[in-house]
Amino acid sequence: MQINHHIGRSTKPVQFKLAGSKQTPVAYLNLAVKGFSKETVDFISYVAFNKTAELLKRLVTEKGMVVEVEFNMQSSTYSDAATGEKKYRQQNVISNFQIYRTKKVENNTSVSNDSVIEGNMSVGNEVDGIDPFAGMEIVGG
């Protein structure tokens, strides 16, 4: 399995729902991530399930928060309820995430599937006061 990492700014608060008969927690996160060229920004959607979804809902509460996600890309198929047609989709499924703050705080919060790890360090790992998107124009955000 290939693991991917992105760091970006949330474009809105996390959307959360309980899905299916088992009421599985599901969270949807959208990030603005620097593109390959300096002038572009990509808007990428992610999904998280269970404990990770609950933690995302609780911790990513504002537009503009800097979030690092570790995710894998999963493909799936389903049948359209109305037409019975077979549909294909690909989702970026978050396995871990970390939130960076722009101000100095005492604790760094790193989140994994089943745990919250507290550490004594400056959140943002030396990026405090530096806007990672300085000079970029986000269109449609």
pLDDT given for residue 109 in this prediction: 52
pLDDT digits (tens, 9 = 90+) for 118-135: 332 223 333 334 454 454
Distance in angstroms (rounded) separating the CA atoms of residues 129 and 99: 15
d(CA 135, CA 118): 32
3-state helix, strand, coil in the chain (%, to 5): 5, 50, 45
Assess whether pLDDT exceeds 60 at residue 141: no
Tell me the pLDDT tens digit for each residue of 49-104.
Answer: 999 999 999 999 999 999 999 999 999 898 988 999 999 989 999 999 999 876 54
> Which are the contacts of 121, defined by CB distance < 8 A and separation ≥ 6?
107, 108
pTM: 0.69
**What number of H helices and E strands is found in the chain?**
1, 8
